[in-house]
Amino acid sequence: VQNRSMVELSQKSESDQITVLNLLRARDTLFARGGNRNRSATDWYNYCRRHFLATNSVQQIADMRGHVARELSTLGFPDPTDRNGEQNRSNGMYDLSLFEAAIAAGLYPNVASRSRGESNFSNMTNRKAKIHISSVNSCQGQPLSSKSQVPQGAVEFVAFGELVKGPQIFTMSQTTHLTSPLPLLLLCGKLRVAPIVADKETTATTTTTAAQNKPEFALLSVDDWIVFQCERETAAELVILRKRLASAFLRMVAHPRVGMGSLTTEERDAVSTLTVVLKSGYYANANR
């Protein structure tokens, strides 16, 4: 029953962090209704009981959220609780694609991967790990709780908060399944690109027309660990996008009170492009 309640709170997000966010949103909704505050407190207590939650623990998380928001505002950044602010790229909506991207960027390099048929994940140092039993992703029926069912040749990624050494194997707590690898490619680590050199024998047996029509490919690697193959032209465009994003983020951090207003036209376009690409990558892979 408790596991079913956890999965219900997660709203199919496959994410402990988003599950906590859903919980805080439910709390905010109950206390924002107005009227009798004691009634709201009672409703909240009953809500926590139904979902096997400790009210004090949730209150600590809510208080921490408030402290962080105030600290950011003190530093000059826009109020992170303002859903309609310019910094909110989801336009006040509940957008899992942007949540996942923020989680991946914030937790990196705490990322692990596995291929079809594998039960365990491997992290950057090639340590094998499983999902910790405290994670919503360990609940029966959750895709990450059993062997990977991704298509042959595909890779399944998970971001995690902490790697804990157990008696036999490492376990990952505070996990989030990354629906798309694009947040890793665009927001994490150091991106390197290398051309793929065609095999001489293959080139010799290829007709001139076929060779002219065949696109050239390149390898993109994040910290020499996560490797992607794409057309050279696409690789070049992604490198340019990353450079403009890095410039935009540095400028916004240096001038937090100005925010997006401090960006050049190219940098603003890069941030807008990032939003579109992240959403596109997420929703193209969301059905599972």
pLDDT digits (tens, 9 = 90+) for 188-219: 999 999 988 766 554 455 555 545 556 799 99
235 has a pLDDT exceeding 90 = yes
Tell me if 89 sits within 8 A of 172, measured CB to CB. Answer: no
pTM summary value: 0.88
Q: Which of 2-6, 26-30, 33-37, 114-118 has the lowest mean pLDDT?
A: 33-37
Task: Report d(CA 3, CA 23) in Å as an integer.
Answer: 15
Angle formed by the axes of helices 265-284 and 96-107, nearest 10°: 110
pLDDT at residue 82, as a whole number: 75
What pLDDT is stored for residue 214 in this prediction? 64
| Span 247-258, average pLDDT | 93
| Residues 278-287: tens digit of each pLDDT | 999 999 988 7
pLDDT on residue 233:
94
- Place 2 in a pLDDT band, splitting at 50, 70 and 90: confident
Tell me: pLDDT of 62 over 70. yes
Looking at residue 91, what is its pLDDT? 59
Tokens linked to 14: 């496959």
Q: Is the pLDDT at 266 greater than 70, yes or no?
A: yes
Q: Which of 85-94, 140-149, 207-216 has the lowest mean pLDDT?
A: 207-216
List C-alpha distances in Å: 228 to 178, 235, 240, 253, 269.
16, 10, 17, 30, 24
Structure tokens at 186: 């665009």
What pLDDT sits at residue 46?
Answer: 93
User: pLDDT band for position 36 (50/70/90)?
Assistant: confident
Q: Which of 50-54, 91-95, 175-179, 207-211 has the lowest mean pLDDT?
A: 207-211
Q: Which of 106, 74, 76 is nearest to 254 (CA)?
A: 76
CA distances from residue 271 to 6, 53, 77, 274 in whole angstroms, order as listed: 34, 38, 17, 5
pLDDT computed for residue 35 by the predictor? 63
3-state helix/strand/coil string of the chain = CHHHHHHHHHCCCCEHHHHHHHHHHHHHHHHCCCCCHHHHHHHHHHHHHHCCCCHHHHHHHHHHHHHHHHHHHHCCCCCCCCCCCCCCCCCCCCCHHHHHHHHHHHHCCCEEEEECCCCCEEECCCCEEEECCCCHHHCCCCHHHCCCCCCCCCEEEEEEEEEEECCCCEEEEEEEEECCCHHHHHHCCCEEEEECCCCHHHHHHCCHHHHHHCCCEEEEEECCCEEEEEEHHHHHHHHHHHHHHHHHHHHHHHCCCCHHHHCCHHHHHHHHHHHHHHHHHHHHCCCC
For residues 204 and 220, the answer to whether their CB atoms sit within 8 Å is: no
